Structure formats: structure tokens, C-alpha cells
Chains A and B, each alone.
Chain A
């Protein structure tokens, strides 16, 4: 099972830097998701790792061996493309067996592998059909089979599910992870969908504007993001700006607009620090109590989301926050409410130099 490393890898197109110089290591058997908004450099990175593009700087190592100068046809990997890219003039069977065929395997071997991979993605019945006759979900399954047919230990997926309908995407997510884990592959999966990244990956690498911003296991990234961008991009967050008024023992008291104060963990904070507080919609609750970590507000909007309801509450600090409430606990027509912030479920960040909006911008 290969270990793949990017060392000092960078890519420039004329004056535009698509990928800033950086390192990345993906271990044996890991399923890594590379997550970020359009234009963050994730597709550039995976194309460099695969050898489809050549880097401007840096090296790519597989199991310690420098493969930077090898073209993609000489690297042992499978690649699934964003736009599926099945060969339109070949049917499902010939698409899936293209790899073994160009390696001049014996017909018996080709037959065996073809059946194996198509069975894996449940497309064996459709082997005689042409890509134009299949739905996009089915096409992508065939593309996956094609990528697996060379029995490579390394699988690269460039936004493999982006072209598909929501329902189909959900189904294929599970299938992808299951196949990768069952076959013991090392997988690199590029996507802009954070929910997808978290459901499939062992580790998520968050990218923005050509650089890695943060990486870690999905749950750590979700529960303890280390920057405001990750806090907003992975899942959703409410943001409140304020400054540290006092520190007592392990707690800091942050003063928000209009004088409201919240108590947060004091780790690493000093009095006077300008900070941004972040809380996810499902971490906030509506309460009747007027004391503790509560801020009063007025309900401005209410949206049915199915199992939960989303309330838009204008706090008296004039910030607008979203709160997710289970539908069964719906408040009917209550307008004035108390929003409760659980002390240990608040994230604290230094206020970004360029301002909060700039730090959160997606494009």
C-alpha cells in the first residue's frame, strides 16, 4: 500500500499561482479528503500528485521513490475524473477493461478483471451499453471500475460525485468508502462538499487560495476547528465579535456589542484581546432562564428543515444567529427568546487582521 508525499510542491501558470509551495503526506491505506471552495488549488494538487500536470517546483514521492518526472501512464494509480470522461465510442465493458487491455494482459486475465470490477460497482448487467445510454450515476460507477481495473493500490478521485444528483451522491458515498476500505487502498478524494468529505475520509485537508489551512480527522475538524475559515466552511457557524473584558481562573469574560457578556474557556487569552466567538447552530439552545451564558433576542425567521427547524434570531447585540431546534420542540409563535451558549461549546479565535468577512470569503 503506497505512501505518497508532496515535497515543496507548487504550480504557477504565468503570473497566477494555483498552488502555493507546500508539503503533504498521505500514509499507507489512508483515505484523505482534500476539501475547499472553487479555485483553492485542490484540483491542481491532485493533478500534480497523479502526474497529469508537471509541477513548477517540488517533488512527488511514492514510497520514498521520486516519481516527479514520470508521466501518469507510468505511475501505478487509478484516477476518477470530475466530468466522468468515459470513452464515448466504447461500451461499458471496453471502458472498464481499458487499463488491462493497454497493458496487453491475456484475454483470460482481462475477462477476469473486467467481471470483478464491474461486479464491485454493480454494473455487470449493463456491460454492453454505451455511456450515452446510462445515467450519470451509472457512468461514474463505470469510471470507478475503470480506475480499479489495473489493481493499483492508489486511487485518486477528482470531485467524483459533483456531477450527480443529491440522492445518488449519498448512495455512492457509502459505496466509495466501503470499496476503498475493503480493497485496502490509499485514496485521495477532492471535493467542495464538506459533508461528503467528512463522511468518507479518515483525514480531511482544508485548502483555501492555494494553501492548506488546516487538516485532521473529520470530528476534530468539526468539533474543534482551529481557524474561522474552517469553522465556517466545515459545517456552519454563528460568529460574534467582541473583546476579552476579564479573566478569572480558567474562564474569560468576553464583552460583545451592547454590553452583553459571555463566559468562554480562557485558554491562551489575555485581557483586551479582540476575539471572534463561534458557535454552531445545533450548539445553541432556546431557554427560559435569564441567567448564565444567555443573550436575549427576537425571532426574525423560522424555517422548516424536516427533522429540525431553523430559527433566525436577532440577538440584542444586533448579531443575527441561526439556531437549530428539533421540530418536536418547536416554540410555535414565541417571538422574544433567550439564547443559551454552552460554555464548553464555544470556539474562540483572535479577530482576523483583514476583518471577519474577508477571512470567511468563499470566492
Chain B
């Protein structure tokens, strides 16, 4: 369990800048998720902290100790790669006990630790099996037990759920978080899946093109993102330009395409702004029962997604809006229906208009 501090980390591969001046402080016992699209530099960051890559610039400190130049075996970190990399010629037990074995622990203590970790991940009854005999979920748990048995100060997880089926991912992510919280190790977990990030993280750090563009607790990054990119990455957004005027009580009045909206609890921005609201924050109502602020439109497309329904609504003032209400509330909607899209004031986000245009600001690849 250690505090990890990253200062000014930079790394380039030829002309490509994988990391640009990344600085981060991770508290003792914290579960930090580094979130970002593929190629953003998340894996590079993780591997640098693990000691598998030397940064071009910058420092890494653990509990104040400068470990930047230390080889991985001297850093007290445990790294779990995307494909788990279980040692195929060793059994589940031998895999789990690997770290204490190579570190020269006495057999008794090593066995106690291995047994404890395997019991924790519910794999103790498969201790004699070999990795190729295990299902995906079991392999992941074995890899986790092996990482925890390393008694490391920092746990580094590289997309630990990516190799699993979608349904399994949902089940195991909560389990993963609970297990690690119990043990209390400082953890850096890398992923591109924002739902996963929200579920497991204490804090989320968003990485894009090698730069750290936002860090904060999940709720803050979700509800008060600092940029349109982060806003959109954490949940599909609708963006539209509006002119903003101050209103009472710290609220802001927006005029977009002839529609008046009030955004509450937002300060500052005046003039022309980029306003946005999440698809899942919008409500949907029949036009004749419309209440609250919003805009009228016609449903162009409807996709059933289970818990939610995904709608595309063509509106006059704001073009096509994506709306994702809960199925329970929107079961009645059909393609072609005239509807009213409710846009609650507390969910409207405001940003300065991005220089290169909205599309470029949101680009993921």
C-alpha cells in the first residue's frame, strides 16, 4: 500500500508522443481508473509505472522513494496484463505462489498466502488445474490471485475485463472492486469502458493522445466535466450552440434556435457557448403532456436496448437529438411519433465553443 506520485512523465516512440507531461498523485489505498480511447497512452503509462518502459522524462515516486530507474523486480508493483499471461506450464497454485517463491519466502508463509488469495477469489478447489483448463473468468481470477499474492504496494491492471464476455464483465467488475478494496492495495486500473470506470473507481483520470485532461471523483468527472471530450466520453452527449445570458440564483438562460432553456448551477460563461446534455439525462414525453423545459420533435429511429431505449429525435431548433430514456418511461414511443424532449436544467453542461469545431473536439480515434 503506497502513495504513488507521477511527475512530468513523457515518453515517445519515434515521432509518436505516447505520454506528454503526465502528472498524477494517487493516494495510499486509492482505486484510480485511467480512462481513455485506444491509443491514448493508457497502457504506456501503466507499463512505465511498472518499470517495463523507461520514461524519456519525469519521475515516479512510491511513498516518497524515487523508483524511476529501478527495474520492475525491485519496485514492489504487481502487473496484470490484458491477456492475463498465466504461466501455462504451472498450475493455478504454482502461478499464485510464484511471487513469494521467487522472492525467497519460507515455504510455510508462502503456502498460507497462496491459500488465502485463492480462497478469496473462490478458486481454491481448482488449485491443481492448469490455465488452459480454465474458463475466461477463472483465468482472470487466477491472475488476480497471483497479483495479490505478490504483496505489492501498487496493483496495475491493464484492461482486466476486456478479454471476457459482456455479461461476465458486468458480474466480475463489482467482484474485482470488492476484492481489491478488501485488501486495500493502491490500484491503477486502465480501461476504455466508461461504464466500467464509473462502477469501480474512486477517482477517474481521463487520458487523450498522451495527455491527462481530467482527474477527479467519478461523480465529478461525470457531472462536471471540464471539456466536451470528457463529457462525451463518459456518456453520449447532445451538443448545440446557444447564446447565454445570466439569470437569477446563479442560473444561466440559454437561447438556442429560438428555444429558451435555463441551466441551473452553472456560472461564468457568457456570449456564445457550446451547450450539451446527455442522451440519458433527457426525458421523453408525448407532446400534449409536455411539462418542463425542452424542445419538440419527431422520433426518427427507435432501438430497444433492454434497460433503456435509444431514440433519435429530429427537432427544428437543434437538429437530431439522441435520447436514451429508461424503458419503463418510454415504452409507448414509436417511430414517427411527435414527442417532447425534456432537458432538465441541472443536467445541461456549458463549455466555450471549441476552436477546431465540435467534431474535432470529440474525436476518439
Contact = CB atoms under 8 A, between A and B. Distances in A.
B212 to A, nearest CB: 19
Contacts of B364: 165, 167-168
Contacts of A283: 328
B127 interface: no
B244 interface: no
A282 B307 contact: yes
A307 B304 contact: no
A235 interface: yes
Interface string A115-138: 000000000000000000001111
B307 A280 contact: yes
B199 A363 contact: no
A235 B193 contact: no
Main secondary structure of the interface of A (DSSP, over half): helix
B306 A307 contact: no
A307 B278 contact: yes
B306 A198 contact: yes
A262 B47 CA distance: 53
B125 interface: no
Contact of A165 (B38, B195, B326): B38
Interface string A295-332: 00000000111110010000000000000100010000
B239 to A, nearest CB: 16
B165 A37 contact: yes
A171 to B, nearest CB: 9
Contacts of A200: 303
A160 interface: no
A262 to B, nearest CB: 19
A193 B168 CA distance: 10
A282 B167 contact: no
Interface string B198-221: 110000000000000000001100
B102 interface: no
Given A166-B194, A199-B310, A306 B235 contact: yes
Given A199-B303, A362-B137, A306 B222 contact: yes
A285 to B, nearest CB: 10
B198 A219 contact: no
Interface in A250-267: none
Nearest to B199: A303
Interface in B162-180: 165-168, 170-171, 174
A283 B307 CA distance: 10
A305 B199 contact: yes
Given A219-B304, A235-B306, A37 B167 contact: yes
Interface string A148-180: 000000000000000001111010001001000
B306 A363 contact: no
Nearest to A307: B280
A304 B38 CA distance: 24
A195 interface: yes
Contacts of A170: 236
Sort chain A's interface into a size bin. Answer: 35 or more
A162 B195 CA distance: 17
A199 B305 contact: yes
A306 B167 contact: no
A38 B139 CA distance: 14
B235 A307 contact: yes
Sort chain B's interface into a size bin. Answer: 35 or more
B136 interface: yes
A198 B305 contact: yes
B306 A306 contact: no
Contacts of B138: 363
A304 B278 CA distance: 16
Contacts of A138: 365
B195 A38 contact: no
Contacts of A306: 194-195, 198, 222, 234-235, 278, 280
A22 to B, nearest CB: 22
A137 B303 CA distance: 22
A307 B193 contact: no
Given A135-B365, A166-B192, A222 B222 contact: no
B83 to A, nearest CB: 13
A167 B235 contact: no
Nearest to B324: A307
B170 A236 contact: yes
A187 B39 CA distance: 32
24 contacts: A37-B165, A37-B168, A136-B38, A166-B194, A167-B233, A168-B365, A174-B301, A192-B165, A192-B166, A194-B167, A195-B306, A198-B304, A198-B305, A198-B306, A199-B303, A200-B303, A222-B327, A236-B170, A282-B307, A303-B174, A305-B195, A306-B222, A362-B167, A362-B168
Interface of A: 37-39, 135-138, 165-168, 170, 174, 177, 192-196, 198-200, 218-219, 222-223, 233-236, 280-283, 303-307, 310, 324, 328, 362-363
Given A198-B305, A199-B305, A236-B170, 10 more contacts: A39-B135, A165-B37, A199-B310, A200-B303, A223-B327, A303-B198, A306-B278, A307-B281, A362-B167, A362-B171
Interface of B: 37-39, 135-138, 165-168, 170-171, 174, 192-195, 198-199, 218-219, 222, 233-236, 278, 280-281, 301, 303-307, 310, 326-328, 344, 346, 364-365
Closest 9 CB pairs of A and B: A193-B166, A307-B280, A363-B135, A192-B165, A199-B303, A235-B306, A166-B193, A218-B304, A165-B192
